[in-house]
């Protein structure tokens, strides 16, 4: 049980420090132009990495399963300009149904 | 009349935008609570404290699954902090827009998660701090409340995979990514980021591929 608390404490304090580092040390100062244009591209780069890894990886394995069908359904729903909640529901339902009928 | 009106508007706007995500985040909080409270996890109270302090789903899932699987606390800590290392560049990206004293900036920085950050993004590297705070508070409440429901509900809830909840995460990030793809550079950065991450998945611990994908943003150094 004390191991659990060690993990909770270390991860919690570490994460709090990581999140605070930029805002506390940099404050309200703007970033230089070139840094700014790199930072502007962090969102698409990291979000795409999160999409890719969450869709087709489990631990260190690349896996194609029902999640892929869910994400494809989500992409179609996004193209139709649906709200985010509907996108998420369509993805989850598609993956659940695919597993239920055993096609993925 | 007073300058707090637009601030309240953006706070509200951030909060309202976050509600649909909050439902998804809350459901993930439930599954995190269930996983933590059932045999081999970290236990009920540590799970709730972790959600309230760490407030980062993927890292928490990684930590708990490693503790449950191998009982290696150091491996669990390293994996979780690697997964959260992305909050370093993310924190830097919002830093110019968080104002006030160090304590205020410190507290606001804790409300930064992938989803609140994406909601606050106004394009071209600009962020609305009030939208970030409104969204962050909604998501934090949903995450902590979901965790509490999960540890109380225990095994009563079914397997998250059966409910398709594991497909909700990439779908959610895709929905957040789509509006950012408003030019050639963001599209190239996104494709490169995804390619880097997938190429590294088999060779590196979980978390590293996402940090490495940040390198794709370096194409911003090329002159236009």
The DSSP output letter for B160 is T
- pLDDT of the residue at A88: 80
pLDDT of the residue at B1 = 44
Answer for the pair B80, B62: CB distance below 8 angstroms, yes or no.
yes
Q: Cβ contact (<8 Å) for B220 and A78?
A: no
Of B46, B75, B38, residue with least CA distance to A2: B46
Among partner residues B164, B175, B221, which is closest to A70 by beta-carbon distance?
A: B164
The 8-class DSSP code of residue A32 comes to P
Mean predicted confidence (pLDDT) in B81-104: 85
Global confidence as pTM:
0.69
Number of Cβ within a 10 Å radius of residue B87: 27
**Based on the number of CB atoms within 10 Å of its own CB, is B137 exposed (0-12), middle (13-18) or buried (19 or more)?**
middle
- For residue A29, what is the DSSP state? P
**Per-residue confidence band for B40, with pLDDT thresholds at 50, 70 and 90:** low
Low-confidence ranges of chain A (pLDDT < 70): 1, 27-31, 104
ipTM above 0.95, yes or no: no
Q: Do B171 and A91 touch (CB under 8 A)?
A: yes
Using a CB-CB cut-off of 8 Å, the residues of chain A touching B202 are: 60-62
CA B48 to chain centre: 17
Q: Which residues contact B200 (CB under 8 A, 6 or more apart)?
A: B208, B209, B212
pLDDT, tens only, B169-191:
788 789 878 988 989 999 999 99
């Amino acid at each position: 049980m004390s191991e659990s608390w060690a993990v909770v404490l270390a991860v919690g304090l570490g994460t709090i420090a990581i999140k605070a580092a930029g805002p506390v040390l940099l404050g309200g100062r703007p970033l230089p132009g070139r840094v700014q244009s790199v930072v502007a591209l962090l969102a698409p780069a990291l979000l795409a990495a999160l999409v890719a890894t969450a869709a087709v990886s489990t631990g260190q394995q690349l896996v194609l399963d029902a999640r892929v069908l869910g994400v494809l359904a989500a992409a179609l729903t996004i193209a139709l300009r649906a709200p985010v909640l509907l996108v998420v529901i369509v993805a989850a339902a598609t993956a659940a149904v695919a597993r239920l009928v055993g096609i993925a | 009349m007073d300058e707090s009106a637009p601030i309240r508007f953006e706070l509200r706007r951030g909060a309202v935008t976050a509600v649909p995500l909050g439902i998804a985040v809350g459901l993930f909080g439930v599954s995190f609570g269930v996983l933590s409270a059932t045999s081999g996890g970290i236990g009920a109270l540590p799970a709730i404290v972790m959600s309230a302090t760490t407030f980062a789903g993927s890292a928490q899932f990684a930590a708990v699954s490693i503790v449950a699987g191998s009982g290696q606390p150091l491996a669990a800590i390293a994996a979780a902090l690697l997964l959260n290392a992305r909050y370093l560049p993310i924190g830097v990206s919002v830093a110019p827009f968080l104002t006030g004293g160090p304590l205020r900036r410190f507290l606001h920085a804790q409300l930064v998660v992938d989803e609140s950050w994406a909601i606050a993004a106004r394009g071209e590297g600009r962020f609305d701090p009030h939208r970030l705070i409104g969204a962050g508070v909604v998501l934090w409440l949903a995450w902590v409340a979901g965790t509490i429901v999960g540890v109380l509900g225990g095994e009563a809830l079914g397997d998250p995979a059966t409910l398709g909840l594991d497909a909700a995460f990439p779908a959610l990030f895709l929905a957040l990514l789509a509006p950012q793809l408003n030019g050639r550079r963001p599209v190239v950065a996104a494709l490169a980021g995804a390619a880097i991450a997938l190429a590294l998945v088999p060779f590196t611990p979980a978390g590293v591929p996402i940090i490495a994908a940040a390198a794709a943003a370096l194409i911003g150094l090329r002159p236009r």
